[in-house]
Amino acid sequence: MLAMLDKLLPHLNDHGLPYPDTIHPIIVHFVIAMVLFAFSCDVLGIITKKSRFFEVSWWNMVFATISIFVAIIFGQLEAGLAKPYDVVQPVLNLHTLIGWSLSGIIVVITACRYVIRSRNPEKLPIPYLGFGLLLTALVFFQVYLGDELVWVYGLHTVPVVEAIKEGILP
């Protein structure tokens, strides 16, 4: 059964992936940029009292909401293919938990933003900025964990993939 399943799966490259390089970081950087830019536009909109910034922020959150699910799909796929060794597993688990949590948080914040926007697109309540700031902090922590997975633990880097194949890493 395992041999038959092995024939159906695509061959994994030197990075342990069925495609040339990791896709999760590429997509997730769009999400990071959109969330941070949305928060920045909200702050600018409140400071300058120009509602155009609120519109830009709204659309960034809409696209971040869609993009985070694509990032999670590729993140789950790539995490499963990484064959994480013992030391990296707690960081990967936390990164996964926060990623799924962020998807829910971003959906809720975008939904709240929709209600705020439909009531009055010219104004944004100050408490909403508090939630934006918390979201920004959580995104920065998630970025830290993702960086740790790549730059400290080397997931999907050629030397680590080879060490796992050779049985050097448990």
Question: What are the tens digits of pLDDT across the range 105-153?
Answer: 999 999 999 999 999 999 999 999 999 999 999 999 999 999 999 898 8
Q: What is the pLDDT of residue 166?
A: 75
Asked if 32 and 143 touch (Cβ cutoff 8 Å), the reply is yes
- The whole-number average pLDDT for the span 32-37 is 97
Residue 78 to residues 2, 82, 131, Cα–Cα distance (Å): 20, 6, 30
Residue 8 has pLDDT above 70, yes or no: no
Taking alpha carbons only, the member of 135, 154, 23 closest to residue 91 is 154
Predicted confidence band of residue 6 (pLDDT cuts 50, 70, 90):
low
- Structure tokens belonging to residue 46: 């409140």
Percent of the chain past pLDDT 90, that is, above it, reads 67
What number of residues does the chain have?
170
Q: What type of residue is 32?
A: I
Tokens 């508090």 -> residue: 130
Whole-prediction pTM? 0.84
Residue 3: the pLDDT is 59
Q: Average the pLDDT over 23-43 and give the result.
A: 95
Cβ neighbors of 66 (< 8 A, separation 6 or more) are none
Provide the 3-class DSSP secondary structure of residue 125.
coil
Q: Would you state the pLDDT for residue 140?
A: 97
Average pLDDT over residues 51-80: 95
